[in-house]
Structure 1
Amino acid sequence: MFVDYYETLEISPNANSETIERIFRYFAMRYHPDNRETGNESRFSEIVEAHNTLRDPVKRAQYDILYREHLGLRHELTDGARDGGGLERDAAIQANLLSLLYVRRRRDVNNAGIGDDELERLSGCPREHLEFHLWYLKAKGFIGRTENGTFAITVEGIDHAGSKQARDRPDATRLLDHAD
């Protein structure tokens, strides 16, 4: 796991060596385990680790490469969170997976599973993305693993797929309104 040493020391990535030393001394005194009022051994260890890396020019240069990569990943995650279409796409993929598994269950109730490779092919979703959706649907109880290791829709999954489909079809709602 990546640790942001700049955040640990509460300094800018552009901080010079004097600033790093000054801030380190301040935090070291504050969090040193011998300090009865504010001592914190865990926080002290984090500060020492950050200081030892950032004070050495070679270690800092190596760390800064990792830092920039991590910063790029954070920007990707932030951009992905801002993209409102991401949730809608995920919901569509999950609905598609449930539909595929529903049809399979309807065709053969005793052999209702679909394997990972076939799900990838049928859904058009790459394996690395499919893993998230399968995890989610499994955690919600909508799908499960069969005895032979394939995925199959559960009763909860069928109920969920049916209720979602009814809500998404305005004509179905109108039919229900006229049935009374």
Structure 2
Amino acid sequence: MTEELELLLEDAESSMKKAISHLETELTKIRAGKANPTMLDGIFVEYYGAPTPINQVANVSVLDVRTISIQPWEKKMLQAIERSIMAANIGITPQNDGNQIRLFLPPLTEERRRELFRKASNEGEQSKVAIRSIRRDTIEQIKKLQKDGDLSEDASKDAENSVQELTDRFIALVDKHLAAKEKEMMAI
């Protein structure tokens, strides 16, 4: 295999890993009925004029399966954190007791579970589309190398097969992540 071809395959694999990483990040944001501090990722609080993630202005911990505790390092941040959580519209009303904020996650209904799984499936489908797009682009580059005479027809076919195997492996990984998320969501 030529060096250029190896670089193409490495780039394709790297891009597919990024698609899987993005899927994992998005799936952790989908609430599965269990309290998880990552649910608050992406929620920012105004802290001395700068938007700051909640976990950088407070201690975020899980008290039990359905409760998240947010203990600000500065008491004056309680109101700002509470407003930010309300504005983020994550479906949970914060309970402020003057010292800390507690988030009580309600149990999921069957309908809500199905809705969340549809959302997870949509994220999985977007990852599959991204992976297939990477495959298409890589195969186009391989065909261009063959057309330019830098690659024999046999080497081109072998490289395309390698790209397809890579794609199949990553698509299977997406399915595995979705199956795990569905199992987590459907467990009562």
TM-score with structure 2 length normalisation?
A: 0.28
Higher relative contact order (CA 8 A, sep 6+): 2
More helix by share: 1
More strand by share: 2
The structure number with the bigger radius of gyration is 1
TM-score with structure 1 length normalisation?
A: 0.29
